[in-house]
Amino acid sequence: MSASVQETALANWLAAGLRCIGQISIADRSGEGFVLTHRDDDTSRNDLQHYGNAVGASEIARFDDAKNYRPLKTAPNLRHGWRLALKDIAALRIALDLFYPGRLAAFLAWEEGACATTPLRATLERQTGMYRASAKISVDEANALVGNFCGSDGGCLRTILWKRDENGGVASTRLPSEKCDPRHDQTGQGAAVIPLLCQEACNLLVAEARKIVRAAMPE
């Protein structure tokens, strides 16, 4: 999918009123570019740290407020206190892809009915090497793990599209149904959002599944 196709889609989403993505608010400066801020920050504050180009997004996204590395970019721990000015839609696309890698392309594919998903069980069963053990996780253990690890309240802001296994089944009965609704704002703030879609379980979830299996193995 080309960059220009994504930029056209992004412009259309903004025109349709989708002005938030994850924890980021997008302000359109009417032909003079865009300004991104953390949704929880008061934009009239004059102490926001200023960044002037898309590369600033990777620096902002790297650590949380406590300066801890953020291994999961869609976790709800984006740091506060910054303002990122971008000159045009191309720069906006690059910045959003640095904040939330691959998520614009995923949403565009979903809108076009071309977003392929992989059931959790299939993702676990295709693991090799040290992660092969993750496939041994039981249905109940996986249900609890996904409920704890993927929840929007402290876990991850993605909207889950995948099913439990090839026969379907919700990702976890411990998650609210909105967790699988791309129109729902996973921050709970009720805005119209560009959603962060999850087409298949990430490596971090697979690693957690492995830990559970390993912990239950005899010494």
Q: Which residues bind ligand SF4 (CB under 6 A)?
A: 74, 149-150, 156, 158, 160, 198, 201-202, 204-205
DSSP 171: S
Q: What does the DSSP assignment read for 69-119?
A: B-SSTTSS----SEEEEESSHHHHHHHHHHHSTTHHHHHHHHHTT------
Q: Specify the residue, 108 or 205, whose C-beta has the smaller distance to ligand SF4.
A: 205
Q: Specify the residue, 6 or 74, whose C-beta has the smaller distance to ligand SF4.
A: 74
Tell the smallest beta-carbon distance from residue 206 to ligand SF4 (Å): 8
Query: What gap in Å lies between CA 192 and CA 27, rounded to an integer?
Result: 14
Q: Up-side HSE of residue 8: CA atoms within 13 Å toward CB?
A: 5
Tell the smallest beta-carbon distance from residue 164 to ligand SF4 (Å): 12
Tell the smallest beta-carbon distance from residue 155 to ligand SF4 (Å): 6
Distances, alpha carbon 46 to alpha carbons 40, 88, 157, in Å? 15, 23, 28
Sequence-distant (6+) residues with CB within 8 A of 196 are 21, 22, 74, 100, 103, 157, 158, 159, 186
Tell the smallest beta-carbon distance from residue 49 to ligand SF4 (Å): 27
Q: Specify the residue, 48 or 202, whose C-beta has the smaller distance to ligand SF4.
A: 202
Burial degree of 115 (CB within 10 A; 0-12, 13-18, 19+) = middle
Tell the smallest beta-carbon distance from residue 77 to ligand SF4 (Å): 12
Residue found by looking up tokens 């929880």 in the block: 40
